[in-house]
Structure 1
Amino acid sequence: MTLTELRYIVAVARERHFGRAAEACHVSQPTLSVAVKKLEDELDLKIFERGGSEVSVTPLGEEIVRQAQSVIEQANAIKEIAKRGKDPLAGALRLGLIYTIAPYLLPELVRHIIEHHPQMPLMLQENFTVRLLEMLRTGELDCAILAEPFPDAGLAVAPLYDEPFMVAVPQHHALAQLREVSAEALKAETMLLLGNGHCFRDHVLEVCPEFARFSSDAEGIRKSFEGSSLETIKHMVAAGMGVTVVPQLSVPRDAPEHLRFVPFSAPVPSRRVVLAWRRSFTRYEAIAALRNAVHACALPGIQLVRA
């Protein structure tokens, strides 16, 4: 049993396809397939079920792949220990972020890292919460910036900040004239929502639960729209198609024409944004540096959590 074979089975489990796993490992498919079969023969069990266009992992195979990932991480940790002796922050940090955080936090965060920690470049991945959690589990990411709550995956978590929500309305909408808006006042409005898979959609539905189930008549259908991004939805709000709820960081410092952002009245809905990483990840200094970099960013309207 070799580390190379362990890397191959982790890749196959991640890709669910021998060809794609071989590409990811920069080897030919026959080389990878022979190595995986050799390991299965050595262990006298099947790690993968081969059939159809997709490979599945057997129940025992799941345990073996998890252990293989742990062994690979421990082997990598030896190199990290050696690096830390020279520079604790040396080496790229693979960071994931959800779609409703990345475009608003990253520009200043990346500038800060480049300026203060150029030896630790960020390798970035923007995705849904569920996908980022899977990538953390398989070792494709080192850490991720997420919004709570999310499924407990046995991760280490450090809070970053609490972010209030605001209401985005067309410039000449009646709500645009108010100093603050209650969640109750939104019940009569046409609400534009992010599509399924976005955790911020769930946050909005907690504020306005009446939009969780739309009626089947035309009026009910008219009252809903599912967008792929907050920016798309904000443009549609500006066009007069309805209103929406947005996180504070997505509010531009100079309000665009035809769009107004109104605060919520108390109690103001918000979300807790956190940094999550695998407990087996050994670059503690890198995690601390990233968290400090987030806290050093100018985040207007945000309550930093330093505990």
Structure 2
Amino acid sequence: MTLTELRYIVAVARERHFGRAAEACHVSQPTLSVAIKKLEEELDLRIFERGANEISVTPLGDEIVRQAQSVITQANAIKEIAKRGKDPLAGNLRLGLIYTIAPYLLPALVKGVIERYPQMPLMLQENFTVKLLEMLRAGELDCAVLAEPFPDAGLAVAPLYDEDFSIAVPATHPFAERSEVSAEELKQETMLLLGAGHCFRDHVLEVCPEFARFSSDAEGIRKSFEGSSLETIKHMVASGLGVTVVPALSVPKEAQPHLRYIPFSAPVPTRRVVLAWRKTFTRYEAIAALRNAIYGCELTGATRLS
């Protein structure tokens, strides 16, 4: 049994046709057919049922094909390990980001990584903090960009930047022409919040704890005070339904006709954004490269941390 034979049976199972499978494997059809027949004889069972117009996989053959795919994947992983030995940046880096960071950091970050480290493609996952931590622990992610605080999961953590918060109000709001607004003044406003599960919701409630009454178990109109994303909430604010608090990176560079973004008066609330990874993850150079790429982004309203 060889890896080549396993690749052939996976190709036939996928294509359901010996000719197309041979073409996909860049060999002649007789070569592929002979190799598969040899494997079937070695295993003493039929992997494929050969009909007049169609190839089907036998029940046992289906299990063998799935195992063959797993073996091929593991063999490719061995090659990736060897490749990384020559170049630690070579190979995919599986990166997770929370919802309130990903839309504003990723466009510049992905472009920067492609330009600086083309041998290190980013495989991206956007999710809640809790889910990203689970994926890190399970080895489904290599690293994640998160906002502190979060439960200690035995991770290595490197600070990236501290990010100021701003207040978003409708263009017709009395605050719209102000140079700054205090957290105390927000107590009289209708606050629009992200839904439960978003860590940024918790950050806003630290600034304005009185708005904790708008919780996920509230009834009636109060549920409308929660949104699924910052961009959704911004549209609600622009429609005059209330005000909200946003992180600095989400503030657009161009003026928006129906929205105004007002700084907080001192002390300005902030959040700390960090890069976290498993302590057993050995591609330190890849982590350093990712940090450099993040620092290469224009982090308006944030203070870079070393």
TM-score by length of 1: 0.72
Counterpart in the other structure of 1:95: 95
Once the two structures are TM-superposed, the CA of residue 222 in structure 1 deviates from its matched residue by: 5.2
Counterpart in the other structure of 1:226: 226
> In structure 2, what is the Cα distance between the partners aligned to 1:262 and 1:223?
26
Counterpart in the other structure of 2:50: none
Once the two structures are aligned, what percentage of the paired residues are identical? 78
2:133 alignment partner, SS class = helix
CA contact (8 A) 2:167 2:245 kept: yes
- Deviation track 1:157-202 (CA, whole Å, cap 9, x = no partner) reads 0000000000000001001121101000000000000000100000
Return the index of the structure with the highest Cα Rg.
2
Q: How does 1:57-206 map to 2 (within 5 A)?
A: 82-206=82-206
Q: Could you list the runs of 5+ residues in structure 2 that have no partner in the other structure?
A: 1-58, 68-76
> In structure 2, what is the Cα distance between the partners aligned to 1:190 and 1:129?
27
Counterpart in the other structure of 2:74: none
> In structure 2, what is the Cα distance between the partners aligned to 1:242 and 1:223?
14
> In structure 2, what is the Cα distance between the partners aligned to 1:222 and 1:153?
34
Counterpart in the other structure of 1:304: 304
CA contact (8 A) 2:159 2:272 kept: yes
CA contact (8 A) 1:80 1:283 kept: no
CA contact (8 A) 1:192 1:233 kept: yes
CA contact (8 A) 2:214 2:222 kept: no
- Deviation track 1:98-151 (CA, whole Å, cap 9, x = no partner) reads 000000000000000000100000000000000000000101100000000000
> In structure 2, what is the Cα distance between the partners aligned to 1:190 and 1:131?
30
CA contact (8 A) 2:214 2:225 kept: no
Once the two structures are TM-superposed, the CA of residue 256 in structure 1 deviates from its matched residue by: 1.3
CA contact (8 A) 2:148 2:273 kept: yes
Partner amino acid, structure 2, of 1:188: Q
Once the two structures are TM-superposed, the CA of residue 301 in structure 1 deviates from its matched residue by: 1.5
Q: How does 1:228-243 map to 2 (within 5 A)?
A: 228-243=228-243
Once the two structures are TM-superposed, the CA of residue 83 in structure 1 deviates from its matched residue by: 2.5
> In structure 1, what is the Cα distance between the partners aligned to 2:112 and 2:95?
15
Partner amino acid, structure 2, of 1:108: A
- Structure 1 residues 129, 219: CA separation in 2 closer, same or farther (over 3 Å shift)? closer
Once the two structures are TM-superposed, the CA of residue 300 in structure 1 deviates from its matched residue by: 1.2
What's the Cα RMSD here? 2.8
Once the two structures are TM-superposed, the CA of residue 84 in structure 1 deviates from its matched residue by: 3.4
The answer to whether residue 256 in structure 2 is matched with residue 272 in structure 1 is no
> In structure 2, what is the Cα distance between the partners aligned to 1:213 and 1:126?
28
Partner amino acid, structure 2, of 1:189: E
Q: Could you list the runs of 5+ residues in structure 1 that have no partner in the other structure?
A: 1-26, 36-75
CA contact (8 A) 2:84 2:91 kept: no
- Deviation track 1:206-265 (CA, whole Å, cap 9, x = no partner) reads 0000011249xx999559610000000001100100000000000000121110000000
TM-score by length of 2: 0.72
Counterpart in the other structure of 1:23: none
Once the two structures are TM-superposed, the CA of residue 79 in structure 1 deviates from its matched residue by: 6.2
Counterpart in the other structure of 2:35: none
Partner amino acid, structure 1, of 2:283: R
